[in-house]
């Protein structure tokens, strides 16, 4: 369960203020929870303090929560409360704004309880009229807390006190034994509990989508492409003017034309992804609103059952884990690492970066694609992809050969050198079976001489 925000804590404090004027009648410890029973005109209501270190809570229940047993544990904190607060009216409930998540309660004007609902720093401190103090855990000084960004009450991410209670019940009430499937919902309360679990999942998904939208909007691919177009003559000599994050996206060895095309291609992909993510966000907001409406009082059981059935998966189905997806993807199609040169007319040139990449390039190539390799020297394989019967000019073959040399040799490539390459159609190139170095046999080849 996600910890409550400051806005949600303020709503919970508002619920506790409704008990002001009611005398304290019972003090019960349930594990790490403290339940304080106050007598009201509607009967005994319980102010519940959950001292969970990750998600501390303060809630008000109109009756004792089902699934919990009352225990009369004789711990010092319970004895101190009974000795100094029993039968005294609750007079004050306030939240310390400077300390953020600190709530103070007072009984009879001089008996105080301080509840520090700060994740990883939870504590409960009692002080009587004589100034004697007792705490749940070791006292530590608190400084001013930084202001947190929390969803506004009208936001779909904001949880009402009733929703928080439902989430807390789903987390805290013991579930069915391991290995047994949960029984079909037999009551309105069970239906609400299960729908609330669905609502939690939708909220978490909405948060992840909003984070993804923020990251995608900050992508500078299009701006970088425009900058390269404006400074074509001196782009690579003025890289120091660019932000460091932009420079890392460039591959100087691939040339200016490749980098410009790559930037705009990445920008298009990013914008399409952004549009899809925005659509998913709108879907999730609508689903959260519908589920919130179903959680209100007065909704018929049939409507709850129908909504629950629409969000449940068919029996026996299981969503594959991330590990399963990665393993399946690696078995079916290993990730290809290569350098790419595109011309935009259905032709592109790919150069493998390892023996495995070279073999994968060969397997993916079509019979009419061209295969390139440095003559009589081990190194990278290149595949020039084209449409069937599409002509490739001699100038383009030389450009592809030069790109293969730049990828394989990098800084070792010097101006004025002459290199011989072997070129053949893919149909005439066969990998040597069982060879892990990526060697091949070929025929009907031609020589291509490239001058750097």
The string of pLDDT tens digits covering residues 385-439 is 998 888 999 999 999 999 999 998 888 888 888 999 999 999 999 988 877 777 8
For the chain, the domains span 6-144, 189-311, 338-451
For residue 325, the model assigns a pLDDT of 55
Structure-model confidence comparison of residues 194 and 22, the more confident one: 22
Q: Above 60 in pLDDT, residue 188? A: yes
Q: Residue 48: pLDDT above 60?
A: yes
Q: Tell me which range, 179-188, 191-200, 251-260, 405-414, is most confidently predicted by mean pLDDT.
A: 405-414
Confidence label for 60 from pLDDT (cuts 50, 70 and 90): very high
Residue whose C-alpha is closest to residue 413's, from 422, 424, 423, 402: 402
**Sign, Cα dihedral of 255, 261, 265, 268:** positive
User: What is the pTM for the complete model shown?
Assistant: 0.45
217-239 mean pLDDT:
77
**Of the candidate ranges 142-156, 184-198, 309-323, 430-444, the one whose mean pLDDT is the lowest:** 309-323
Q: What is the rounded CA–CA span in Å between residue 118 and residue 287?
A: 31
Cβ(246)–Cβ(224) below 8 Å: yes
CATH topology of domain 6-144: ibrinogen binding protein from staphylococcus aureus fold (2.30.310)
Nearest-Å Rg of the Cα atoms of the chain is 34
Other beta carbons within 10 Å of 34: 23
Q: Give me the pLDDT at residue 402, please.
A: 93
Q: Is the pLDDT of residue 113 over 90?
A: yes
Contact 447, 387 (CB under 8 A): no
Cβ neighbours of 338 (radius 10 Å)? 19
d(CA 101, CA 88): 25
């Amino acid at each position: 369960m996600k910890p409550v925000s400051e806005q949600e804590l303020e709503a919970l404090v508002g619920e506790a203020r409704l008990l002001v004027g009611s005398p304290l009648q019972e003090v019960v410890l349930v594990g790490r929870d403290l339940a304080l029973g106050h007598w009201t005109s509607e009967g005994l209501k319980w102010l519940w303090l959950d001292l969970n270190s990750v998600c501390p809570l303060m809630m008000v229940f109109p009756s004792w929560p089902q699934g919990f047993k009352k225990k009369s544990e004789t711990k010092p904190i319970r004895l101190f409360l009974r000795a100094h607060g029993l039968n005294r009216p609750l007079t004050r409930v306030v939240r310390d704004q400077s300390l953020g998540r600190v709530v103070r309660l007072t009984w009879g004007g001089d008996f105080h309880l301080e509840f520090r609902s700060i994740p990883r720093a939870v504590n409960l401190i009692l002080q009587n009229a004589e100034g004697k103090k007792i705490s749940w855990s070791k006292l530590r000084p608190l400084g001013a807390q930084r202001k947190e960004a929390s969803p506004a009450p009208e936001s779909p991410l904001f949880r009402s006190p009733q929703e928080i209670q439902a989430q807390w019940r789903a987390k805290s009430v013991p579930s069915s034994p391991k290995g047994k499937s949960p029984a079909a919902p037999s009551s309105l309360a069970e239906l609400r509990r299960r729908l609330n679990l669905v609502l939690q999942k939708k909220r978490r998904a909405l948060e992840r989508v909003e984070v993804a939208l923020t990251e995608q909007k900050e992508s500078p691919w299009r701006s970088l492409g425009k900058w390269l177009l404006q400074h074509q003559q001196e782009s690579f000599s003025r890289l120091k003017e660019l932000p460091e994050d932009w420079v890392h996206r460039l591959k100087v060895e691939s040339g200016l034309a490749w980098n410009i095309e790559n930037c705009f291609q990445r920008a298009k992909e990013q914008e399409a992804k952004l549009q899809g993510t925005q659509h998913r966000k709108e879907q999730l907001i609508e689903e959260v609103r519908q589920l919130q409406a179903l959680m209100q009082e007065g909704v018929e059981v049939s409507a709850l059952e129908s909504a629950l059935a629409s969000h449940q998966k068919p029996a026996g189905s299981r969503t594959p884990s991330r590990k399963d997806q990665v393993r399946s993807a690696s078995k079916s199609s290993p990730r290809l690492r290569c350098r790419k040169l595109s011309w935009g007319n259905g032709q592109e040139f790919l150069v493998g970066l390892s023996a495995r990449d070279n073999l994968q390039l060969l397997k993916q190539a079509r019979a009419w694609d061209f295969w390139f390799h440095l003559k009589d020297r081990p190194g990278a394989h290149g595949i020039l992809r084209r449409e069937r019967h599409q002509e490739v000019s001699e100038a383009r073959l030389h450009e592809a050969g030069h790109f293969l040399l730049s990828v394989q040799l990098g800084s070792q490539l010097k101006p004025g050198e002459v290199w011989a390459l072997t070129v053949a159609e893919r149909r005439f190139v066969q990998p040597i079976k069982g060879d892990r170095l990526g060697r091949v046999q070929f025929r009907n080849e031609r020589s291509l001489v490239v001058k750097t």
